[in-house]
Amino acid sequence: MKQNKIAIITSGHSPFDERIYWKFGNSLAKNNFFVNIISSTSEIKQNDRSIIVTGFSDKNLNKWNKITKFLEILKSFSPEIIICCEPLTILPSFIFKIFHKRHCKIISDITEWYPENVAFKFSGLKKIISFIILYFLNIILTNLTNALILGEETKKKRYDVITPSKGKIIISYYPVLEFFDTSPPNFNGKYLTLCYAGLVNFDRGIFQLLDIAKIISEKHNKINVKVKILGDFSSKKEEKIFDELLPKYSNIIIEKIARTDYRNISNIISDADICFDLRVRNFIYNNSLPIKIFEYMASGKPFIFSDIKPIRKELGEINCGFLVNPNDQQEIITKIELYISNSNLLYQHGLNGRNIIESSKNWEKESEKLISFLYSLLNSK
């Protein structure tokens, strides 16, 4: 049986990103696609089963040279479908389609708020000008594609407006059940482990978590409180500030673990009792569904998260954790103390989350939508 070639192209993610490699790549390879993951984040050449990983470093390349490099790899691989993970990658894909393979289909996989994720790093007039230029650039580029994959419903409204004629499908961030073992919390009144996993930065509430852990340790001095942090800092500057302030939290145990292989997440957080994300409620965070919440649930962990609409819309009645105002320290402490005083609730919330993932919100079910969508594109004119 013929293997259809599909390229997944990214200018901002590791080729072993969980969505790119362990979800899309893995599922496509299992369904008779020959996959080439092309990334400009690192030099790499790897051939694993039906997945090729082709990486180059763009550190010394300007945008046009990067586009040219992507185009060279696409020409060599000659895919039937290209999945683009950022707007920039659409341009070399479109050039490839026009000049080298007219029937090739281009898909934009939209998981971030663009151009906010770029423009909002600036301030003042530069922020406004960047937003306007990048917004119109995004309109042009996404209209060069054949279809859009969106990670969540909240982003679809924008693209219904700017790309009304393009086919769209929601392929969410649900975890791969194969890689997540359940380990509900086993709090015994002596040791309490609070966990944060993901990109570490101040906007995601890492210091709020440490401050709260310190207070819990002081109020409940018979409990040994540990904060487990799994992930890499978004900047060396923030990591340096974090390390300099650690002596302030001498009454709690702080364990830092670097970003790990996606398959190991549930094993590393197996001792966690409660998992957190106390992100600020700005535009991007207030309108984005956190990926880690599903991984916590898949691991059987109750969560305490910032109260944002995408989570409530996704989960409906929350019976596997608590949603809180990230600025209300007392509210968060009260929820933790509720778990401390009621270990049965802690355990049951963990099981409830796992049951939700097993019954509906898992990648095994979600990938069926992806495969069906891709075959429908292949069979279209």
Main-chain phi, psi angles of 205, to 5 degrees: 80, 25
Burial 256-292, CB ≥16 within 10 A → b, else e: beeeeebeebbebbbebbbbbbbbeeeeebebbbbbb
Is residue 18 within 8 A of residue 48, CB to CB? The reply is: no
Q: What is the pLDDT of residue 152?
A: 94
Cα-based angle 341, 342, 345 (whole degrees, multiple of 5): 150
Q: What is the pLDDT of residue 229?
A: 96
Structural domain boundaries of the chain?
A: 4-174+363-378, 178-359
Q: What is the pLDDT of residue 380?
A: 83
Could you please state the CATH topology (level 3) that the domain comprising 178-359 is classified under. Rossmann fold (3.40.50)
Domain 4-174+363-378 shares a fold with domain 178-359? yes
In DSSP terms, 81 is beta-bridged to 6, 105
Count other C-beta atoms under 10 Å from residue 181's C-beta. Answer: 13
**Beta-sheet pairing, 167-170 with 191-197:** unpaired
- Number of residues in the chain: 381
The Cα 187–Cα 271 span in angstroms is: 9
Q: What is the pLDDT of residue 126?
A: 95
Instruction: Check the CA dihedral 112-320-180-195 and report its sign.
Output: positive
DSSP codes of every residue in 77-135: H--SEEEESSHHHHHHHHHHHHHT-TT-EEEEEE-S-TTHHHHTTS-HHHHHHHHHHHH
Closest CA to 259 of 9, 12, 18: 18
**Which residue reads 């569904």 in tokens?**
289
Is residue 15 within 8 A of residue 37, CB to CB? The reply is: yes
Asked if the bond preceding 15 is cis, omega within 30° of 0, the reply is no
Domain 4-174+363-378 in CATH 3.40.50.2000? The answer is yes
Q: What is the pLDDT of residue 102?
A: 92
Q: What is the pLDDT of residue 49?
A: 73
The Cα 358–Cα 62 span in angstroms is: 45
pLDDT in tens, the chain (381 residues): 678 999 999 999 999 999 999 999 999 999 999 999 999 999 999 987 789 999 999 988 999 999 999 999 999 999 999 999 999 999 999 999 999 999 999 999 999 999 999 999 999 999 999 999 999 999 999 999 999 999 999 999 999 999 999 999 999 999 999 999 999 998 989 999 999 999 998 999 999 999 999 999 999 999 999 999 999 998 899 999 999 999 999 999 999 999 999 999 999 999 999 999 999 999 999 999 999 999 999 999 999 999 999 999 999 999 999 999 999 999 999 999 999 999 999 999 999 999 999 999 999 999 999 999 999 999 887
